[in-house]
Structure 1
Amino acid sequence: MLRVGLTGGIGSGKSTVAGRLAEHGAVVIDADRLAREVVEPGTPGLAAVAGAFGDDILDAAGALDRARLAARVFNDDAARTTLTSIVHPLIAERTGQLMAAAPADAIVVHDVPLLVENAIGPAYHLVIVVDAPVETRVARVVRDRGMPEADARARIAAQASEEARRAVADVWLDNGGWVDEILAEVDALWADRLVRYESNIRLGHANQYGGPRLRSYDPAWSAQAERLIARIRAGIGDPSARVDHIGSTSVPGLPARDIIDLQLTVESLDQADAFAEPLAAAGFPLAPHVSQDEPQDPDDRGKRLHESADPGRLAQVHLRVKGSPGWRLALLFPAWIRGEEGVLEEYRGVKERLSALYEGDTERYEEAKEAWFAEGASRAQEWAERVGWRA
């Protein structure tokens, strides 16, 4: 099963995206719809809300007067917290039931307006954010919901900022144009990424990796690494686990293959093996081979390697025992390249020369780099001792 989080601010057109994904066969779980279901007349949820806020939040028929309740909690943090404490556990329980009922090969799209605000992005294999220019969103809300413009702007201002949404977005869909444009983007996303991603997770396959072609440094690599780190921690159930962004993509200004390398620190290889199943479920199956763009252990038996199942974001997760030589080198080399004057330029030259020489042959490219790493190990250690670097 592939778990996809879908979010976007009011007026972004998120429902258009959800509807198209449903047409393709996605199991869509609408958090707003569940929020209404759990407080329908006769439910324990409605009784609890009325008990907390009084019967005046009910209409003449005994149903929840949503407008009156919204006015009560909009500018009252304590009241909003009380409402959340009642409703959210009920929504979570129902969401869990629907996810458990989905087929094993389902692509489950969880439509959650407050995904960013509630910091639940790491719970999904992928997060899709739908956005549109503010003026477009205001016009849609006024037109489609009959909301006064001032209220629409206040609602938008109270929600997560574009910066906060971009930080959690694996996929950013700009829905400010024609409907046909956003539908075409969703169609391509479904065929090229979501279907393949689900299949890879279900079958335990990592995505296929290409040759040693280099890309210019991409500042987005850092944010992408942070999202993957959060998913790894959520997957293994340890929010404090040490996971470091390593390898060439962790060095600003250094060209690299478009593969995010991460190192998960473990206490033992037994612990690494215990993480194999939860990591695979989180989208990082055990790799059938060892190939990476960073210093290797003297003995490959000294680590475990997992690779991303996501066709749209290649990544490798190296599980190494804390204090082992390979663990320390994986942390030391990027620090040295970042910190020692001239080393970044030197390594860039090595990478560019070897990438051109062994185009399409990853194995020979990696082998050729080992000479530079072998010579650099002593230099890196000297630098570490000189500046007092510690892993």
Structure 2
Amino acid sequence: MMRIGLTGGIGAGKSTVAKELAELGAVIVDGDKIAREVVEPGTPGLAALVEAFGEGILAEDGSLNRPALAAIAFSDDESRAKLNAITHPLVGARSAELIEAAGPDAVIVQDIPLLVENKVAPMFHLVIIVWVDAEERVRRLVGARGMAEDDARARIAAQATDEQRRAVADVWLENTGTEDATRAAVRALWAERIAPFAANLAAQRPAADAPHVEDAAYGERLVGRLWITLGAEAASVTADGAAASVVLAEGVTVDAVAHKLADAGFAPAATEPGVFQGSDPGRAVTVRVAAQGVAGSA
């Protein structure tokens, strides 16, 4: 299974990208859609929101009045944290159910508005950022969604900055042209990177002739992904760009973690024991793994 994290600022156009990915065969797990489902009338989620923010967030028919909730929840950091503490676990549990039902060969695209803010980027094989500058997003939110300008700006200010998004981006997709141009860019991304990456994952093989990519932030992303993959089975993880070194915890062998690494996109190299190479055709990655006490592991 290949897992892709899709995110971008409010109004950036993630839905266009997600629709095209779905047409190409991806299974979309839409965080916004799930967030609406878990607070429908009669759900524990809606009851928890009313307890936290009061009856004033309800419409006359008993459903959630989203503008009323937004006016409270986005007014300060404490209120936003309270909202997130209620909804995020519910969204996470429902997302996990959908992912499990998709099957082992699926390409899962999780559309997560707050992927960067919630620091979940290391969970994914790829992170796609859909980008449009803030002023254009304000224009879209006001013009297309009828949102008040102050509300639009408050929501944008409450989300991650462009710099924070760039730090986690494996793919930076600028959605500044026509919808047809964006869809064409998504199709090219699927053909050139996502589909071959998924095939490499299924075969547990490295990508052939992947390019070396200059990306100052990648080393930190690589370390995060390896820690998520190995957890307590690793004693240390370091990286210099796209070259990482892992020393395993005492008693853990390289063979014991090889399958986990391959599932995470780091397949065993055919030529050298303890060396794993990236399955992503868009970036060359090398991970050297050693057990405790093996020469060269410290």
Q: Establish whether TM, by shorter chain, passes 0.5.
A: yes
* Alpha-carbon spacing, 1:62–1:240, altered in 2? closer, same or farther (3 Å): farther
Q: CA deviation at 1:141?
A: 1.0
Is the contact between residue 28 and residue 109 of structure 1 (CA under 8 Å) also seen in structure 2?
yes
Comparing 318-327 with 144-153, greater Cα deviation is found at 318-327
Aligned to 2:268: 286
Counterparts in 2 of 1:213-232, with a 5 A limit? 219-220=214-215, 222-232=216-226
Whole-Å separation in 1 of the counterparts to 2:297 and 2:253: 15
Aligned to 2:93: 93
Aligned to 2:258: 276
* Alpha-carbon spacing, 1:113–1:162, altered in 2? closer, same or farther (3 Å): same
| Match among 282, 286, 290 for residue 320 of structure 1 | 290
| Unmatched 5+ stretches in structure 1 | 251-259, 291-299, 329-391
* Alpha-carbon spacing, 1:241–1:75, altered in 2? closer, same or farther (3 Å): farther
Aligned to 2:173: 173
Comparing 69-78 with 124-133, greater Cα deviation is found at 69-78
Matched letter for residue 221 of structure 2:
R
Whole-Å separation in 1 of the counterparts to 2:23 and 2:65: 32
Counterparts in 2 of 1:248-259, with a 5 A limit? none
How many pairs align? 298
CA-to-partner distance for each residue in 1:220-275, whole Å, 9 max, x for gaps?
Answer: 1x3122212111110112498422225xxx5xxxxxxxxx2211112457432222
* Alpha-carbon spacing, 1:80–1:267, altered in 2? closer, same or farther (3 Å): closer
CA-to-partner distance for each residue in 1:300-340, whole Å, 9 max, x for gaps?
Answer: 5xxx1111111111111111245644235xxxxxxxxxxxx
Is the contact between residue 245 and residue 262 of structure 1 (CA under 8 Å) also seen in structure 2?
yes
Alignment RMSD (CA, Å)? 2.1
Aligned to 1:149: 149
Computing the radius of gyration from Cα coordinates, the structure with the larger value is: 1
Q: CA deviation at 1:130?
A: 0.3
Is the contact between residue 5 and residue 124 of structure 1 (CA under 8 Å) also seen in structure 2?
yes
Aligned to 2:276: 306
CA-to-partner distance for each residue in 1:109-162, whole Å, 9 max, x for gaps?
Answer: 000010000000001110000001222212111111111223322222221111
Aligned to 1:2: 2
Comparing 95-104 with 315-324, greater Cα deviation is found at 315-324
Aligned to 2:230: 236
| Match among 232, 243, 247 for residue 265 of structure 1 | 247
Aligned to 1:127: 127
Is the contact between residue 251 and residue 292 of structure 2 (CA under 8 Å) also seen in structure 1?
no
Matched letter for residue 150 of structure 1:
D
* Alpha-carbon spacing, 1:144–1:240, altered in 2? closer, same or farther (3 Å): farther
Matched letter for residue 276 of structure 2:
H
* Alpha-carbon spacing, 1:239–1:34, altered in 2? closer, same or farther (3 Å): farther
More helix by share: 1
Q: CA deviation at 1:89?
A: 1.1
CA-to-partner distance for each residue in 1:30-49, whole Å, 9 max, x for gaps?
Answer: 10110000010111211222
Whole-Å separation in 2 of the counterparts to 1:171 and 1:94: 26
| Percent of matched pairs sharing the same residue | 47
Is the contact between residue 105 and residue 199 of structure 1 (CA under 8 Å) also seen in structure 2?
no
* Alpha-carbon spacing, 1:223–1:323, altered in 2? closer, same or farther (3 Å): farther
Structure 2 residue 106 is the aligned partner of structure 1 residue 106 = yes
Is the contact between residue 269 and residue 320 of structure 1 (CA under 8 Å) also seen in structure 2?
no
Aligned to 2:66: 66
* Secondary structure of the corresponding residue to residue 104 of structure 1: coil
Q: CA deviation at 1:277?
A: 1.9
* Secondary structure of the corresponding residue to residue 267 of structure 2: coil
Q: Which runs of 4+ in 1 moved over 6 A?
A: none
Is the contact between residue 31 and residue 113 of structure 2 (CA under 8 Å) also seen in structure 1?
yes
Whole-Å separation in 1 of the counterparts to 2:84 and 2:158: 16
Matched letter for residue 22 of structure 2:
A
* Alpha-carbon spacing, 1:52–1:267, altered in 2? closer, same or farther (3 Å): closer
| Unmatched 5+ stretches in structure 2 | none
Is the contact between residue 74 and residue 158 of structure 2 (CA under 8 Å) also seen in structure 1?
no
* Alpha-carbon spacing, 1:238–1:174, altered in 2? closer, same or farther (3 Å): farther
